[in-house]
Amino acid sequence: MRLSTSALALLLSAAGPITAFAAPAAPLPEEPIPSQATLPADYPQSWVLMQDINFNSIVDGRTVVVDTANPAQPLKGILRTAQFGNTLFAPARHEIYTAETFYSRLNRGERTDVITVWDTATLQPKGEIVLPGGKRQQSVTYFGTFQFTNGQKWALVSNFTPAQSITVVDLDGRKVLGEIDLPGCSHIYPTGERGFTTFCADGSLTSIQLDAKGAVASSKTIANVQDIDNQAQFQNAAWVGKTAWFVTYHGQIKGYDLSGPVAVPLKTKLSVGTAEGGAPEWRPGGWQVIAADPKGLLYVLMSPQGKEGSHKEGGSEVWVVDPASGQRTQRIALPNGATSIAITREAVPHLIAVRMDGPVDVLDAATGKLVNSLGSRVAFNPTVVIPVP
């Protein structure tokens, strides 16, 4: 089809002025492939590991290494951890361990459970230990489902079929030592030289010590340490030395001395306290809801919207409690709220406040002042934060 001169002029007029395009830029220099950087073997104390459940592609979970003091480039590296993986960090061994589950057809087919051993400098796998039975507990990440014992020489892996048990793994020998049944009990907390404590559905706790072969050497149950109906504990603990501190759904703080072969409930009557302005009331809420700083102060994530069923919804403030005096010493307002909190082990500790939808804020733990905001550039859905010791 031919256009008349007047029609062509009309089209050009409607299209606007003709722009002259600049000459293409010089090509970028060739980048060698593969191109791999390395991290320091010993991580700075401003660094943390974050477990990212990655909801939009949940079969592709990851653990990210993050420098909380570097808002320009906070992400230092990524470990793939499959679906509902768990992470342990052993800085003295320069190793990271992930408990993972894989299927031969991504989301179906033959199942394989493993512990993968990663090098902290290269973030490359050094080996793996296959876990038998296809029974590793797959749940949204908790600290208490994958833990060290025996001076970090062994790992304990929670199983759920739905029968509950623990697989004992020798990390040095790269082999499975055995399995221990835990009917009605869940989560594991290192106890004594070579053991663990678990809390049970009837309100009791059980402490188990293992022999040199990973079998049960002793077992002791203590009844009624937890009021399941009225003061159920959040499962994650804040550690001060060998003492594990927990907070309940209604704000009681309970401590357990785990230095010996059997857990000893501390005879303390601590609470986060109360405050006006709750609608309906202030309660602890979040995923990683309690943390401790190097001085032993406890930090609890609090929400004014506390009610039945709100215990995982996150909070807008952090309340600081000194267990030595029994007093609340500070209230820290979070600029964007949080679902998980942690405290770095730096000389000047920082409060890490993360939301499950990604954004991460870094505050001065002493003053509550916002220091850095890492936005959502480090993880899609961070749940658990592991500070570098």
* pLDDT above 60 (res 8): no
In Å, how far are 279, 297, 338 from 303, measured between CA atoms? 9, 19, 10
User: HSE on the CB side for 57, CA within 13 Å?
Assistant: 9
pLDDT tens digits, one per residue of 287-331: 999 999 999 999 999 999 999 999 999 999 999 999 999 999 999
Identify the pLDDT of residue 236.
Answer: 94
Q: pLDDT category, 96, cuts 50, 70, 90?
A: very high
Q: pLDDT category, 14, cuts 50, 70, 90?
A: low
Q: What's the mean pLDDT in 6-17?
A: 52
Identify the pLDDT of residue 204.
Answer: 98
Identify the pLDDT of residue 36.
Answer: 80
* pLDDT above 90 (res 20): no
Residue 284 tokens, joined: 């602890």
Residues 230, 249: contact at Cβ < 8 Å? no
pLDDT tens digits, one per residue of 349-362: 999 999 989 999 99
Residue type (1 letter), 267: K
Domains parsed from the chain with CATH numbers: 42-387 (2.130.10.10)
Average pLDDT, the chain: 93
